[in-house]
Structure formats: C-alpha cells, structure tokens
Chains A and B, each alone.
Chain A
C-alpha cells in the first residue's frame, strides 16, 4: 500500500540554525501539506502546495518557513532560523485533490536547543 514517507525521523538543532525536513508524498497525489504538532497539543495546519506553488497557508507559516518541490518526488519544508518554539512533530500529508482524504506520513520530531 502506498504511503507518505518522511526523513529524518528525528532532528536536533541549535537555535538559529536552518533545518530542512523532507517528505515523499504518495506518487499519484497532487496536493501536499505540512502540519505540526507541539507536544501534547493538536495537529495544526501550516501550508498546502499544488502545481508548484503555495495554495493556502496558516498564520503559523511566517517568513521563516518555506516549501519546495525540488524534483518529481520530494517535498520539503525549510525553517530558516529555528526558534525554541519550533520544537514539534512535523507531519507531511498528501491527497489526490483538495477535496479528498489527506494521508499523513510518520512525522519528523524536531528539537531546537
């Protein structure tokens, strides 16, 4: 069964450093998403991406965040200058259309020290 994959599973970084989180969406999916989940809290939408551009973004997705689809399979989330409060689980998801089910990857646990 096809699934969304994410790397790395864990990332530890120093405050102020840049991190890139990677995702491989399900191959025939066209919409891609990033969500985050701070420990003990609910999952929060960050951004959606379609046709090589951002489709929607939340208030959380400020100028320190960016997304990219550098090739035909990867979808990345970059955090330019990490802050302590960026520590969270980051989930990638994909769907065939914006109205269909979003399937989630296993997540990357980011810890900013």
Chain B
C-alpha cells in the first residue's frame, strides 16, 4: 500500500558538518511534501515543504530535493548545530494517500544526533 518511509532510523554527524536525511515514498499521486522536526516532548515543527512541480527548494540552512522519478525526498541541513538534534519526519499529501485528501502521511522518522 501507499507509505512514506525513511531509510535510516539514526544519523550521527559532527557539529558543523552537513547532514542529509533521506525519505522514500510510494504514492506516485502525492503532490506535496513536507519535512517536520520533532524535539523530545514537542509537536512536529514545520521546516520546509516542496510541491511536485519543483525538484529543489532552499530555506535557511536547509534544502529539500525531490526526485519524482525514483520517488525520493531528501533534507539537507548545512553546518549542523546542537539545536538541530531531533527526529526528522517526511510527510506527504495527495489524493488517494493513506490519509485521504487532507491528512498527511508521515514516515517513521530519523533521529539526527549532533556530536560535539
């Protein structure tokens, strides 16, 4: 069935290095993709989004890449800081997804650990 999943449950990087978090999705009808950051005990915090008519979008220190051919999404975080330590979820939305037309379908999450 349709699903959104992450390749690695934990990613450990040195402070100051760049991080890349990957996500695979299976619903080819998805047209909107979002990355959320979740710190312990808090709700998902919006980071960046991208629509299916784009393949790259940049924010402050973050870049999202979308490859629709292989149904792959990635989040790049430049010059990671201790405050970047969190669980990162990709989510997708589109018609016929598991969550319906309105609901987001989330992946399982990648725990990003920043080493000092």
User: Do the two chains bind?
Assistant: yes
Q: A-side interface residues toward B, CB under 8 Å?
A: 4, 31, 33, 35, 41-48, 50, 55-58, 91, 98-99, 101-107
Q: Are B43 and A107 in contact (CB under 8 A)?
A: yes
- Cα separation A99 to B103 with both chains bound (whole Å): 10
- Cα separation A41 to B42 with both chains bound (whole Å): 15
Which B residue's beta carbon lies closest to that of A106? B43
Q: Are B100 and A57 in contact (CB under 8 A)?
A: yes
Q: How far does the Cβ of B44 sit from chain A's closest Cβ, in whole Å?
A: 5
- Cα separation A15 to B43 with both chains bound (whole Å): 25
Which residues of A are found within 8 Å of B91, using beta-carbon distances? 43
Which A residue's beta carbon lies closest to that of B32? A99
Known contacts being A41-B108, A42-B108, is A105 close to B43, with CB within 8 Å? yes
Which residues of B are found within 8 Å of A35, using beta-carbon distances? 103-104
- Cα separation A33 to B65 with both chains bound (whole Å): 27
How big is chain B's contact interface, by range? Answer: 20 to 34
Which residues of A are found within 8 Å of B105, using beta-carbon distances? 45
- Cα separation A43 to B98 with both chains bound (whole Å): 12
Select one of B43, B46, B49, B99 contacting A45, CB under 8 A.
B99
Q: Are A91 and B44 in contact (CB under 8 A)?
A: yes
Q: How far does the Cβ of A50 sit from chain B's closest Cβ, in whole Å?
A: 8
Interface residues of B in 15-53 (CB under 8 A from A): 32, 34, 36, 41-46, 49
- Cα separation A4 to B41 with both chains bound (whole Å): 15
Q: Are B32 and A104 in contact (CB under 8 A)?
A: no
Select one of B32, B45, B106 contacting A44, CB under 8 A.
B106
Select one of A31, A42, A56, A105 contacting B109, CB under 8 A.
A42
Select one of B36, B100, B107 contacting A58, CB under 8 A.
B100
Which residues of B are found within 8 Å of A31, using beta-carbon distances? 102
Q: How far does the Cβ of B50 sit from chain A's closest Cβ, in whole Å?
A: 11
Which residues of B are found within 8 Å of A106, using beta-carbon distances? 41-43
